[in-house]
C-alpha cells in the first residue's frame, strides 16, 4: 500500500489526498513536520518539502509531479472519471490552473497564513517559532482578494474551473481553499459563484476526510464542515 507523507494544512498534500480518493486508491498517511528535518524524511526528499508519495520502491515528490504520476498510472484507466482532460489544450489549461493554486496562491497567500498562524506555534523558538508576523499576514490577506475574484470569474464562466469537466485543477483549487477556509481566512460574501463551486466540491465523498481534519488546539471555523454555508 502506498504511503503519503503529508501535513494536514499543506494544500499540495490535500490535493493529492483528494485525487487518490477520487481514484479509489488505498493509501496510508504519515504526518510530517518539515521543520524537524528527520533523517528518514530528508532521505526521501533532501529539499524537505511535501507531499511525498512512496509507492512500493518508487518515491515521487511534489504535488504536481505526483498528480502527473497518478494520472499516468491510474487516471488513464478511469475513462469518464479521469481528472486529466483527454485533449492537449484541456490539459494545458488544467496545468495552468494547478500551477496557479498550488504555486502562485501558495507563494502569495497560503504559505504565509499557515506558517504565521500554525507552524510558528508548533516550532520551538530555536527553529524559528514564535509570534506571528502581522505584516506578513496583512500582505497575505490583501493578496487573497485578487485570487478569489479570479477564481470566482472562472467559476462564473465555466462549468468547472478548467472547462466542462471536473479536473485536477478543481481538486487543487479546492485543496488550497480548504486550507484557508479552515483558518477562517476567507470571507464568503461577494464571490457567490466560487462559493457555489466550492459547495459542490465539499459535497463530493472524497472531501469527507479533509472536513474531518482537526489541528490540536486550533479547531476550524464553524462553517468549515457545512455543505450549505
Give whole-number Cα distances, 159 to 6, 15, 156, in Å: 30, 20, 8
C-alpha span between 74 and 97 (Å, rounded): 21
Average pLDDT over residues 133-157: 97
CATH topology of domain 88-207: Glutathione S-transferase Yfyf (Class Pi); Chain A, domain 2 (1.20.1050)
Q: Are 144 and 180 in contact (CB under 8 A)?
A: yes
Q: What is the mean pLDDT of the chain?
A: 96
Half-sphere exposure of 179 (CA within 13 A, CB side): 28
CA atoms within 13 A on the CB side of 204: 18
156 Cβ partners below 8 Å, 6+ apart? 193
What pTM did the predictor assign?
0.97
Q: Which pLDDT belongs to residue 11?
A: 98
pLDDT tens figures, 35-53: 999 999 999 999 999 999 9
| Predicted confidence (pLDDT) per residue in 41-100, tens digit | 999 999 999 999 999 889 999 999 999 999 999 998 998 899 999 999 999 999 999 999
Three cell numbers, residue 173: 483549487
* Burial grade of 113 (CB within 10 A; 0-12, 13-18, 19 or more): buried
Contact status, residue 176 vs residue 99, Cβ threshold 8 Å: no
pLDDT tier at 229 (50, 70, 90 boundaries)? confident
Residues 2-81, CATH architecture: 3-Layer(aba) Sandwich (3.40)
Q: Which of 139, 138, 146 is nearest to 194 (CA)?
A: 146
Place of cell 505526483: 66
Distance between CA atoms of residues 212 and 219, nearest Å: 11
Judge residue 205's burial from the number of C-beta atoms within 10 Å of its C-beta, 0-12 exposed, 13-18 middle, 19 or more buried.
exposed
User: In the structure, what pLDDT confidence band is assigned to residue 221 with cuts at 50, 70 and 90?
Assistant: very high
Residues forming CATH 3.40.30.10 domain(s) in the chain: 2-81
Measured distance CA(23)–CA(17) in Å, rounded: 10
Amino acid at each position: 500500500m502506498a504511503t503519503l507523507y503529508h501535513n494536514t494544512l499543506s494544500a499540495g498534500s490535500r490535493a493529492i489526498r483528494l485525487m487518490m480518493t477520487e481514484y479509489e486508491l488505498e493509501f496510508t498517511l504519515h504526518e510530517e513536520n518539515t521543520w524537524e528535518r528527520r533523517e528518514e524524511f530528508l532521505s526521501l526528499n533532501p529539499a524537505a518539502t511535501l507531499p511525498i508519495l512512496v509507492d512500493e520502491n518508487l518515491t515521487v515528490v511534489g504535488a504536481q509531479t505526483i498528480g502527473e504520476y497518478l494520472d499516468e498510472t491510474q487516471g488513464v484507466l478511469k475513462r469518464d472519471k479521469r481528472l486529466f482532460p483527454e485533449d492537449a489544450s484541456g490539459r494545458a489549461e488544467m496545468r495552468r490552473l494547478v500551477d496557479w493554486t498550488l504555486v502562485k496562491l501558495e507563494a502569495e497567500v497560503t504559505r504565509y497564513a499557515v506558517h504565521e498562524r500554525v507552524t510558528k506555534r508548533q516550532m520551538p523558538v530555536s527553529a524559528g517559532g514564535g509570534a506571528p508576523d502581522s505584516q506578513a499576514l496583512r500582505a497575505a490577506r490583501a493578496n487573497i482578494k485578487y485570487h478569489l475574484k479570479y477564481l470566482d470569474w472562472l467559476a462564473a464562466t465555466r462549468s468547472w474551473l478548467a472547462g466542462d469537466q471536473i479536473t485536477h485543477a478543481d481538486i487543487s483549487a479546492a485543496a488550497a481553499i480548504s486550507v484557508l477556509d479552515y483558518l477562517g481566512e476567507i470571507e464568503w460574501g461577494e464571490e457567490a459563484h466560487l462559493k457555489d463551486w466550492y459547495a459542490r466540491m465539499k459535497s463530493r465523498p472524497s472531501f469527507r476526510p479533509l472536513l474531518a481534519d482537526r489541528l490540536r488546539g486550533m479547531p476550524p471555523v464553524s462553517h468549515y464542515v457545512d455543505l450549505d454555508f
